[in-house]
Copies of this chain bind each other. A is one copy, B any other.
Amino acid sequence: MDVTKIEALIRELNELSYGNMYQNDFLLTWEKSQDEIMATFQVAEILRGLREGNISPRIFDSGLAISLFRDQSTRTRFSFASAANLLGLAVQDLDEKKSQVAHGETVRETANMISFMADVIGIRDDMFIGKGNAYMREVARSVQEGFEDGVLEQRPTLVNLQCDIDHPTQSMSDMLHLIKHFGGVENLRGKKIAMTWAYSPSYGKPLSVPQGVIGLMTRFGMEVVLAHPEGYEVMPEVEEVARKNAAAGGSYTRVSSMAEAFEGADIVYPKSWAPFAAMEKRTKLYEKGDWDGIDALEKELLKQNAEHKDWTCTEDLMAKTKDGAALYMHCLPADITGVSCEEGEVAASVFDRYRVALYKEASNKPYIIAAMMFLSKVEDVGDKLAQLLKDREPRCR
């Protein structure tokens, strides 16, 4: 990306209204205006341009980015660490096993105790329905209160690194991938995207990926189709968001087979997730500490799951898509038939054909997270980016 291109992106950014993102959290994409979403993409691309041009976008001389992962993660963890490092922040993990959090300490207290020098807090908490996003909001309220009470000199901003409802850093990376693949957001209008359930031998994958996708992609005039077997419904409130979004152009529909969803699709996103109702049941068992109940439920779900092995992205199904050449997407890692499991979400030949595209899709995440941080910590984003471009401080000297 040359300097002229970066300058053009900054000019485009300056036409957007995103001032409300300053000192604010990024928890759900549907809480952000269209301009704010677009500003995030612009800043992500500008930061990528700067870094690829060996221009440092470092804005912090010191400072901490706290990461709190309540579920395993490689991609998102590394993306968060990369984003923090790019802007000059050191990552400090709040490891609940190492710390006293596990010993009944209140959220409010911990949130303040880790925030005396925190600029950003990234949280992943996606295991229990009704819990993850609620927890993030509790942390956000706590640090806001701490700031207002004079405990914290500044309010650290939160980035949702995946919750029970949304996975904004993923869906935004996916969306940026589409924008770049189709040569501009305006070209997405009328495109059909099939977000479909797919079989995986593993159990209980978060709903936040399909929910994030239908909650975001419906904002760009696309024909968004959700497909899943009976019992694999997503959260009704997120479907409601999708329907409302689509009312402004495009559509949101639900169909009951992969074949129907794939028919003429420009983009397909077949991916396993757990059934919402079962996840709700699991959360209740968890609250009661009923581990036997959880085990029994898991067995039941795996059995239910195994009845839908035909929900898999084969070459035959791909042939049904627009010109047989829909863009295949996945948040990775995918369960690839004959590679990572016996029977999985996608045929090896399909996955192989899109590998490079999938990796590029994933490569957006560090920049999306860095953009979220940048927009929440810098008041005059356009000016600051222009100045960084002008200063040309090398990243690698």
Contact = CB atoms under 8 A, between A and B. Distances in A.
Interface in A97-150: 98-101, 103-106, 109-110, 112-114, 116-117, 119, 146, 149-150
B74 A397 contact: no
Interface string A53-81: 00010111111100001001111011101
A94 B72 CA distance: 12
Interface stretch (A83-91, A267-275, A304-312): A83-91
Interface in A22-57: 51-52, 56
Contacts of A75: 100, 113
Contacts of A221: none
A74 B150 contact: no
Contacts of A92: 78, 81-82, 85, 91
B105 A74 contact: yes
B62 A74 contact: no
B153 A60 contact: no
A363 interface: yes
A83 B203 CA distance: 42
Contacts of A394: 61
A52 B153 contact: yes
A215 to B, nearest CB: 24
A203 to B, nearest CB: 12
A219 interface: no
B100 A81 contact: no
A74 B60 contact: no
Contact of A74 (B64, B91, B100, B339): B100
A108 to B, nearest CB: 8
A150 B48 CA distance: 13
A369 to B, nearest CB: 11
Given A58-B62, A63-B85, A104-B333, 20 more contacts: A51-B153, A56-B61, A60-B396, A61-B396, A61-B397, A72-B99, A74-B110, A75-B100, A75-B113, A78-B116, A79-B116, A81-B92, A85-B117, A90-B90, A100-B333, A109-B333, A113-B359, A150-B356, A377-B396, A384-B397
Interface of A: 51-52, 56, 58-64, 69, 72-75, 77-79, 81-82, 85-88, 90-92, 94, 98-101, 103-106, 109-110, 112-114, 116-117, 119, 146, 149-153, 202, 332-333, 339-341, 356, 359-360, 362-363, 365-366, 377, 384, 393-397
